[in-house]
Every structure is written in structure tokens, then in C-alpha cells.
Amino acid sequence: MHKIKSSQRFVLFVVFGFILFLLSNRVDELRVYQGATAAVFVIAISSIILLTGYSGQVSLGHGALMAIGAYSAAVAHNELHFSILVSFFIAVLASAFGGALLGIAAARLSGPYLAGTTLALAIGLPSLANQFHVLGGEQGLAFDVGSPPPRLGSEFTQYKWYFWIAALAALIAIWLLSNVLGSRYGRNWRAGRSNEVAAALLGINTARSKILAFTLSAGLAGLAGAVLAMIIGTVSPSAFPLALSFSLLTGAVLAGISTLSGVMIGAVVLVSIPELADAVANRIGSSEKITTNLPGFMVSALLIVTVLFLPNGPVEHHRERKAKKAAKKAL
């Protein structure tokens, strides 16, 4: 694997950000909105890739960590009157703290036990919102980051504003994460993942390394939650169902769980699949029984096909094929 210097990486991100900026002025409002949602998924999926792909831990409860971030941001903004930027930071810190606690428990647990614990968390945590008045119950809290600044012009839509914020948050998050993954910590995680005993012999504190991964991953999830809350303007328990945690895993697998480079693919697929499925269902246009259930069927079938035929994601698949070809040529 060739190495990118961190200065080169920075330039890469700036260029990509500029392309996104140009793109946001070209496409219609629906696509801009979907782009903002995709940015949320980019952040959330990268948090799964960090946790599972690098540190080898499984979480079925990232929806709950997103909820912690979303609620913290809303409470910080509405009740404590912090600015949006500070609220986002608080969201990251609060989720990271929750993630650290979970990580301490997780460091003792192996795969299925951790999966069980995080699943139970995903089911149990959102119901807390109904126990505390400040969390707004089932209808939730409003989270209003305000209109775009007037100097951007009257044609500048709210969704474009959300997209700019979300895309910027995603770019910064991914840039930071890719730097961390390229550092000593990233290597420690990979070492611990492939062989815990060997890693421990090399002097890596695997438990601490795992807890750190969980904390960082949760912080990213919290950011994703806060950005999601901004886009849908509210925070409520029903926005963080178990299905959300599952779809993040799905996105990570579609992206290729062991590498960050496919994260965009996962996010775009997650956002576009329901619309595509709806379109196909309408094209076929048979009985209501079929059209209602076709989207669910297609998403699930896609999942199965992906894990069967592209288990390491499209990017890794492409890389492997290239490597094989190169190897053949060398022979």
C-alpha cells in the first residue's frame, strides 16, 4: 500500500471539498438534501469502520450513540444557549464519554456478547427520553440551527446551508480520522485486531487501545447524530430505531469495512436505495402487497448479495483484482 503524506492528504480534502461546493450549486434541492443526509452517513459509517474494521469490535448500538449526540446538541443549544459550533462539540464529547463507558465494558467482552450488550442499549436507551421532561418525550426537541446568513443571497436554500455544514463536518471528521488511522494508534488497532496475544507481547495495551477506539468511534457517532438532528430539525426517540444501527452496519459493509476509502459509496447507496426501490416498485406497479414490500425486499437482498460476493467492499475488491492481475503479469 502506498503512503500518502498528511500534507498531501490535506490538499486532497480541500480539493474534494471544493468539488462538493461546486456540485452543491449545480444540483436541485432534493439532491442537495440527500447530499446532506449522505454526509451524516459518511460520518456514522466511518465510525463503524474505525470500531469494527480497525479495532475489531462489533456494535449494534451506534444508533443509541447517535441519539446521545443529537440530544446533547439540542439541549446544549436550546437550554444552555450555546452556539451551534459549541453544541456540536458538546455532542461529540457527550457521546465519546458514553462510548468510553461502553468501551470499558466492551474491552472484557468478545464478539457476540458485545453485540448483545450494544443491541440491548440500542433498544433501551431511546426509551429514556420519555422519563425526563427536559428530553421532550416522544415528540422530541426542536433543533434549529437557523437560516443561512443573508449575505449568501435569497436564492440560497436551507438545505444547501445544511449541506455545507454537514459536508464540512464530514470532511473534517474524515480528515482527522484518516490521520489517526495512519498514526501509531491505527497500527496498534490493526495489530490488536489480527492477533491480540501477539499485540500484547509487542507491548501494546490492547484493552486501552480498544477503549480508545470505542471512545473515538462514539464521538464520531455523536457528531453524526447532531448533524442528523440539524437536518431533520428535531430530535426524538423514534429517529433512532434499532433499524438505524443495523443500516449503519449495512453501510459499512457496502463501503468495505476494512478501509475508509469506500465510505462515500456506502453512504450514497444507503441514501439512494429506498428511492430506487420505490421507483422500481412503481414501475412494476402490481398489487399493493407487492409494491409496499418490494423496497424492503430489495434492500435485504442487496445486503445478502454484497456479503456473499463483495464481502470486503467494492474498493477492496477492485484493489484485490488489480493485485492479482499484477501478480499474473509478474509471473
Partner 1 sequence: MKAMNRRKLISVSAVLAVASLTATAVPAQAAEVGVSTSEIKLGMTLPMTGTASLGYNKIPGAAKAYFDYLNANGGVNGRKITLIVKDDRYVPTEAVAKTNELILKDKVMALLAPLGTANVKAVASSVNPAKRGVPVLFVNTGFSGFADVKKYPTTYAILPSYIMEAKIMGKYIAENFAGKKIGLLYQDDDFGSDALAGFKTAGVNFAVKVAYASGSQGAAAAAGWITKFKAAEADVVILFGVSSATSAMLGTAAVLKYAPQWMLGSVGGDATTIKLTGVPAGVLYNAIGFSPVPATTDMNDEYVKLFSDIYAKAVPGSAFDLNVLLGMNSAFMTAQALKAAGTNPTRKSLMAVLNTQGATLANSALSPVGYSGTSHVGLTGYWVGKYSPTGDLAPLGGTYVTYTTDSGAGAVVKSTYKRPAMPAKGLPN
Partner 2 sequence: MFTLINTILIGITAGSIYTLMALAIVLVWRSTRVINFAQAGMALLSTYIGYEAIARTHSFWIALFIAMLGGALFAAIIELVFMRLLLKRSTSGPIAAVAPIIATLGVLGVIRSVIAALWGGADVRIIAPVSNFGFTIGKEVLVFSPLKLLILITVVILVLLLTLLFQKTNIGLALRASAYSPEIARLSGIRVDLVRTLGWSLAGAGGAVAGMFQTVNGNGTFSPDSIEFSLLLVSGFIAAVIGGLESLIGAVIGGVILGLVISFVLIYISGSLFFLAPFLVLLTVLIIRPQGIMGVKAARRA
Instruction: Tell me the closest approach of the beta carbon of residue 297 to partner 1, in angstroms.
Output: 11
- Which of 63, 65, 292, 24 has the alpha carbon at shortest distance from 164? 24
156 to 215, contacts with partner 1 by CB under 8 A? 158
Residue 183 interacting entry, from partner 2, partner 1, none, C-beta within 5 to 8 Å by type? none
Centroid of chain to Cα 245:
10
DSSP class of 152: G
Is residue 238 close enough to count as binding partner 1 by CB under 8 A? yes
Report how far residue 36's alpha carbon sits from residue 165's, in angstroms, rounded to the nearest whole number.
8
Rounded to 5°, angle at Cα 179 from 173 and 180: 90
Helix-then-strand count for the chain, H and E: 13, 2
**Is the distance from CB of 165 to CB of 39 less than 8 angstroms?**
no
Given the complex with partner 1, which of 34 and 117 has the nearer CB atom?
Answer: 34
Residue 195 interacting entry, from partner 1, partner 2, none, C-beta within 5 to 8 Å by type? none
DSSP class of 56: -
Given the complex with partner 1, which of 101 and 152 has the nearer CB atom?
Answer: 152
Instruction: Tell me the closest approach of the beta carbon of residue 305 to partner 1, in angstroms.
Output: 21
Is residue 116 close enough to count as binding partner 1 by CB under 8 A? no
Given the complex with partner 2, which of 308 and 327 has the nearer CB atom?
Answer: 308
Instruction: Tell me the closest approach of the beta carbon of residue 144 to partner 2, in angstroms.
Output: 29
Distances (CA, A) of 3 to 8, 86, 137, 178, 263: 10, 34, 49, 12, 19
Instruction: Tell me the closest approach of the beta carbon of residue 228 to partner 1, in angstroms.
Output: 7
- For 141, the 3-state DSSP assignment is strand
Given the complex with partner 2, which of 219 and 313 has the nearer CB atom?
Answer: 313
**Is the distance from CB of 262 to CB of 256 less than 8 angstroms?**
yes
Q: Which three cell numbers stand for residue 15?
A: 480539493
Residue 191 interacting entry, from partner 1, partner 2, none, C-beta within 5 to 8 Å by type? none
Instruction: Tell me the closest approach of the beta carbon of residue 104 to partner 2, in angstroms.
Output: 10
> What is the contact surface with partner 1 in residues (CB under 8 A)?
28-30, 33-34, 37, 127, 130, 137-140, 142, 144, 158, 228, 231-234, 236-239, 241, 243-244, 274-275, 278, 288, 292-293, 295-296
